[in-house]
Amino acid sequence: MAHSSGVIRGRALMSRMSLSRQLIAVFCASTFACFFACGKTDPCGDLRYDSSSGSCVCPEGFTARPEVGICEGPDGATIGLDGGTLDSSPDGTLEDAPLDGGDGGDFCERCGGDSCVELSRDRENCGGCRRGCNSGWSCVDGACVDVPVQLVAGHGTTCARMRSGDLYCWGLNDRGVVGVNSFENVVETPSLVEGVVNCTDVSTSGFLTCAVTEFGAVYCWGDSEFGEIGPGGGAGSRAPRRITELADVLRVATGQDHACALHFDGRVSCWGRNQFGQLGTGDTAPRAEIVPVQLGGRVVEEISAGLDTTCVRDSDGAVLCWGATPGSGSTDPSTVPVAPTGLGRVVNIAGGGFNFCGVREGGEVRCWGWNPGPGLLGTGSSQTAVVQPEHIAGVAGVTYVAIDSYLWRFTPRSALHACALREEGEVLCWGANQSGELGDGTNEARVNPVRIETEGVRQIAAGAIHTCALIAGDGIACWGENGDGRLGLGDRDDRSSPTRLPRFPMVE
């Protein structure tokens, strides 16, 4: 692993060893004085070491010229300082200082090259020359940090997939769904899920989390009453367990007690509970073994799961759903894939609880499913069940939608909220707001979408009564219910507006 360093700003002193090596390389072959420097007994080369100040200073008879970076001697002789400028102190002491920006600016150095390197942002020289960050990490303010690239939320759990391929989860750890191999019921801060390396996708719901790794392997953990973590998984696992029967997987989607996988070639496989036909097998028998879903040769590009429903979007933008809430114009479940009535082509499909939403071409949002009073689904309908996709007024130009992942038996039936991400990074939310999950600074339910005060959002995830987002600056902000640490802020206080998490992990 590469070494990383702390934040360095302004005129903080840089490593004198770097300075010494540069001077030695320039002068060692030509002067007798550097004989000692080559033996590493004199750190100043052709410059003079001042023991009283512990600094390298111009030799006697030479004058410091900080504006041009030299010591100037008799008859125009000069000694250069490659990689820094001269301090303008009266005694001619030479100290490393910013090449550009001045006080308060980005600290930069040549680091052995001709161009100035900004040490606050350069991954290969983060906070100091040759202090590189680990693979996939970024350099922020002179410190090496990993960057979140995917965010998912379940009933009371949140997970972030990092650019490095590491996976972090936090929140309610019932049945071990956080995946940290602990019996602690609450994990208040983001914690590394060990055993998942080079993660490429993740999904979490109520009691189940699954992750895909490089080359298509699948790992699952949590409850396994109905075989959710795969064949031979017993009653469950609090640490990731590989499902060896699965291969070549691109994406995974988890419901309350079932899961489905999207393969590289566009096929779909499912396993787990099946009381409403959410496995798409044409019956309601649970499966611990992996079973294929018959989709008539369609090539699937996106998959999403609600509580007891699964939906997919194919390469033509068409949607098929099966399970408890297929959106086909009836309250009856479907054990085989059917098309939601009137949805049309979509660019994004999202499920949560007994609800689904699709983003149509052009940015319109249509939703269906459970509609607790007073019409919190946002379609304008007063019916308890919206049995087919209906338009959400006041939402346009949307690229992505998230709808909460509540568990029917644990969450009040009035709980339902959704958020939409617009092209310019603006977020609109609507629905229940009992714990501030809409993020508008209140606890008032909203039938109509309201704009959330957070900028530059790249992705949004909705849990049961909480919401999180990837925000500008490669950060994460969360809001809503936090009694079980699902916001990842290190406490259990609710938040009614977006609150940024401290960076994790971070090496200073």
Buried b (16+ CB within 10 A) or exposed e, 87-110: beeeebbbbbbbbeeeeeebbbbb
What distance in Å separates the CA atoms of residue 94 and residue 43, rounded to the nearest whole number? 13
Range with the largest mean pLDDT of 28-42, 246-260, 412-426: 246-260
pLDDT of residue 9: 28
Domain extents for the chain?
Answer: 16-145, 148-507
DSSP letters spanning 233-274: -TTEEEEEEE-TT--SEEEEEE-SSEEEEEETTS-EEEEE--
What is the per-residue pLDDT across 407-465, written as a single tens digit (0 to 9) for each?
A: 655 555 567 899 999 998 999 999 999 999 999 999 999 999 999 998 889 999 999 99
> What pTM was estimated for this model as a whole?
0.79
Region at 496 (left for phi over 0; alpha for psi -120 to 50; beta for the rest): alpha
Query: What is the rounded average pLDDT of the residues 73-92?
Result: 50
Write down the CATH number for the domain with range 148-507.
Answer: 2.130.10.30
Band (pLDDT 50/70/90 cuts) for residue 22 is very low
Residue with the bigger pLDDT between 96 and 222: it is: 222
Mean pLDDT calculated for residue range 44-55: 66
Quote the CA–CA distance of 329 and 487 in Å, as a whole number: 36
H or E element that contains 429: strand 427-431
